[in-house]
Amino acid sequence: METKVYSLREAEIIAKVAATLTAVDVLTRMGAIKPDLTKQEAYRIYGEANVNRWLGEKKITKRQSGKNKHWRLERLELEAARQGDVKISKIGIM
């Protein structure tokens, strides 16, 4: 397996993505933000087209909420999908 050497700019992008995902995880664990979102909340925050595309690409997973027939989406998965679209794809590691 060949080791890739990243430029300073690429390393900065990777660090920002890691910091963002860590912040979402910590805020969720602290109870400051909800760990999962309804479909409508996810559409509002991340955009309906993005959420549907990520579902189709299997980057995120729908989960049933208890006996309720409504499904929910994990916030950390949504944020990871967004970060992958916005940042990581720019440096070609995915």
Region for residue 34 given its phi and psi (left: phi exceeds 0; alpha: psi -120 to 50; beta: otherwise): beta
pTM: predicted TM-score of the whole model, two decimal places = 0.80
pLDDT value at position 48? 97
pLDDT in tens, 3-42: 888 889 888 888 999 999 999 999 999 999 999 999 999 9
The answer to whether the CB of 41 falls within 8 A of the CB of 19 is no
Identify residue 19 by its one-letter amino acid code. Answer: A
Structure tokens at 22: 């860590």
pLDDT value at position 43? 98
Going from the C-alpha of 50 to that of each of 29, 41, 45, 67, 86, the distances in angstroms are 25, 13, 10, 27, 11
